[in-house]
């Protein structure tokens, strides 16, 4: 099988999956990048500097080669590209296409009433409802959006982002978690594979990692820090990232007397962020409904963190079950968020249980190896006209979950 994956640009969130597809298909797998990466993303450490990727081709450098790959491959996976011209010729040919997409109506499904928008959605999607075009839903609310425009009935599958999955000695990983209070003896310099170093008592380590933007709500992390301090609970909060709210956040720390329990690190490279996750007991994912997926959730879960997340983040209903492998609060409900943060700081055993179950969710289901196998099985089924879907995880049926139902969905125990 010859498979070509077309997207705007390759990054550290896509490389693990592509590596698995290349491992399975060799020269029959190609990733076509349609545009150079934005400088902002490079500044955040997303650039792939100094790497030779054998399966990568750039459309803007080899347009004829890439066009032929898109037209002639057995299966083309297409997504993350606004310009439909890359895929129009393939769609017109009637050959199989697997699209992947985040939400159509991230800012609200009320936007579906736009006549101009509906015409565009019909042209790009709905008219292929009975053709060999399938949809991978990169987020729990994607199926609901496409259901509104009557596209891909019975052909929408769970998908997402599949970050590098690490295998840990869990006892050593958890032994190394936490922060050493200022002035205490001991060290935090030991590797997680070697267990904790030093003999100092550790306090719960809380981590926020992301851009300091309004949609990310980094101020929630500082609200939790202030709340825990008021309760007299020991903790440390690390804030990794930067952005337009940075000055305001620093001012908030100063005004609320949090200087001795909050550390700002600035932007860090992806591998450095993972190291912070390995030390963290609790990971805060406080974005709102504008967060299409949120790949740092995968990484934090793989690192054994107990994740507290907003219900309307795209990844949350796919990855988290409340009080089983994470904590999920109603969109924008600061009081509920603070309650769960305090609960995890007070209850070390619950925190560890959620972290272990989160780790299991990633290494068992939501990882590049399992996802690539599920995708290849599905693609082979399409070519044989006998495609089937998995019962759970990637390439299982994507149910129509409206954004207002995500919170209650994470409370379900039968899936």
pLDDT score at 186: 36
Q: Is 415 a residue whose pLDDT tops 60?
A: no
* Per-residue pLDDT tens over the stretch 208-253: 999 999 999 999 999 999 999 999 999 999 999 999 999 999 999 9
Averaged pLDDT score across all residues of the chain: 92
CA-to-CA separations, 176 to 164, 282, 344, in angstroms, rounded: 21, 13, 18
pLDDT > 90: percent of the chain: 84
Please list, in sequence order, all residues whose beta carbon lies within 8 angstroms of the beta carbon of residue 27, skipping any fewer than 6 positions away: none
pLDDT > 70: percent of the chain: 91
Report the alpha-carbon distance of residue 319 to residue 260 in Å, rounded. 34
Q: Is 376 a residue whose pLDDT tops 90?
A: yes
pLDDT score at 128: 96
Q: Is 10 a residue whose pLDDT tops 50?
A: yes
* Per-residue pLDDT tens over the stretch 11-23: 888 899 999 999 9
As a whole number of Å, the CA-based R_g of the chain is 22
Q: Is 46 a residue whose pLDDT tops 80?
A: no
* Per-residue pLDDT tens over the stretch 306-338: 999 999 999 999 999 999 999 999 999 999 999
Assign 3-state DSSP to the chain and report helix, strand, coil percentages, each to 5.
40, 15, 45
What mean pLDDT is predicted for residues 273-295? 97
The token duo for 238 is 């690390």
Q: Which residue has the higher pLDDT, 377 or 414?
A: 377
Please list, in sequence order, all residues whose beta carbon lies within 8 angstroms of the beta carbon of residue 388, skipping any fewer than 6 positions away: 377, 378, 381
Q: Is 195 a residue whose pLDDT tops 50?
A: no
* Per-residue pLDDT tens over the stretch 66-101: 999 999 999 999 998 989 999 999 999 999 999 999
Do 100 and 80 touch, CB atoms closer than 8 A? yes
pLDDT score at 52: 82
pLDDT score at 112: 86
Do 129 and 153 touch, CB atoms closer than 8 A? yes
DSSP assignment of 206-257: EEEES---GGG-THHHHHHHHHHHHTT---EEEEE--STTHHHHHHHHHHTT
Report the alpha-carbon distance of residue 210 to residue 217 in Å, rounded. 10
The helix (run of H) or strand (run of E) holding residue 309 is strand 306-310
pTM: 0.90
pLDDT score at 414: 61
């Amino acid at each position: 099988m010859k498979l070509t994956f077309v997207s705007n640009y390759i990054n550290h969130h896509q490389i693990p999956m592509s590596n698995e597809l290349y491992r399975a298909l060799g020269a029959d797998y190609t990733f076509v990048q349609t545009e150079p990466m934005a400088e902002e993303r490079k500044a955040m450490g997303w650039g792939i500097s100094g790497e030779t990727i054998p399966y990568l081709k750039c459309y803007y450098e080899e347009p004829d080669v890439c066009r032929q790959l898109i037209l002639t491959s057995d299966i083309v996976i297409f997504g993350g590209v606004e310009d439909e011209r890359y895929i129009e010729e393939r769609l017109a040919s009637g050959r199989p296409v697997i699209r992947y997409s985040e939400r159509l109506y991230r800012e609200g499904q009320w936007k579906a009433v736009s006549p101009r928008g509906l015409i565009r959605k019909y042209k790009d999607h709905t008219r292929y409802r009975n053709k060999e075009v399938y949809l991978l839903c990169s987020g729990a609310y994607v199926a609901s959006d496409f259901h509104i425009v009557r596209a891909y009935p019975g052909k929408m599958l769970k998908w997402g982002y599949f970050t590098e999955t690490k295998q840990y000695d869990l006892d050593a990983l958890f032994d190394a978690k936490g922060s050493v209070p200022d002035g205490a003896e001991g060290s935090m310099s030991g590797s997680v594979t070697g267990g904790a170093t030093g003999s100092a008592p550790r306090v719960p380590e809380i981590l926020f990692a992301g851009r300091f933007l309004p949609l990310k709500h980094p101020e929630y992390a500082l609200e939790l820090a202030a709340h825990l301090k008021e309760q007299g609970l020991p903790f440390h909060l690390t804030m990794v990232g930067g952005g337009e709210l940075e000055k305001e956040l620093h001012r908030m720390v100063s005004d609320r007397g949090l200087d001795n329990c909050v550390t700002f690190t600035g932007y860090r490279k992806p591998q450095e962020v993972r190291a912070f996750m390995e030390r963290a007991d609790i990971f805060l994912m406080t974005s709102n409904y504008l967060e299409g997926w949120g790949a740092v959730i995968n990484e934090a879960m793989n690192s054994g963190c107990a994740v507290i997340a907003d219900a309307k983040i795209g990844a949350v209903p796919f990855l988290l079950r409340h009080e089983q492998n994470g904590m999920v609060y109603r969109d924008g409900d600061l009081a509920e968020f603070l309650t769960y943060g305090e609960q995890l700081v007070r209850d070390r055993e619950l925190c560890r249980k959620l972290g272990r179950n989160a780790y299991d969710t990633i290494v068992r289901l939501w990882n590049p190896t399992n996802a690539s196998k599920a995708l290849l099985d599905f693609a082979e089924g399409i070519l044989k006209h006998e495609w089937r879907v998995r019962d759970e995880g990637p390439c299982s049926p994507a149910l129509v979950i409206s954004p207002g139902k995500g919170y209650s969905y994470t409370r379900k125990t039968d899936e």
